[in-house]
Amino acid sequence: MQILLALIFGAVYGGVLHVLMPGRASRGAVLAPMLGAVLSGLVYVALTWAGVTADNPWLWVASLGAAIVIVPLVLTVLTRTRATHDANERLRLKIS
């Protein structure tokens, strides 16, 4: 049941980043929250299967830290990739 805390944190953190980071119009509204929830949940499950208990603070640091570090990086890369692709398509289609 405690995995729900990691999933909720990841989703909320992703949602906040979606709103705060630039390029919001080029991403789907669910991408960042889903990415945060999946990352936090996967790290939590992997460490739990490895034998780390919920009482261990490293489980929480790793599962929440994964979302904190990876989600902004992925959103930045996706936003830049989308902007570059859109610019190339405008040139290809000769749209101003």
Q: Domain limits at 20? A: 3-93
Mean pLDDT across the chain: 96
C-alpha–C-alpha distance, residues 76 and 54, integer Å: 32
19-31 per-position pLDDT tens digit = 999 999 999 999 9
**pTM for the predicted model, two decimal places:** 0.89
Task: Tally the domains of the chain.
Answer: 1
pLDDT of residue 19: 97
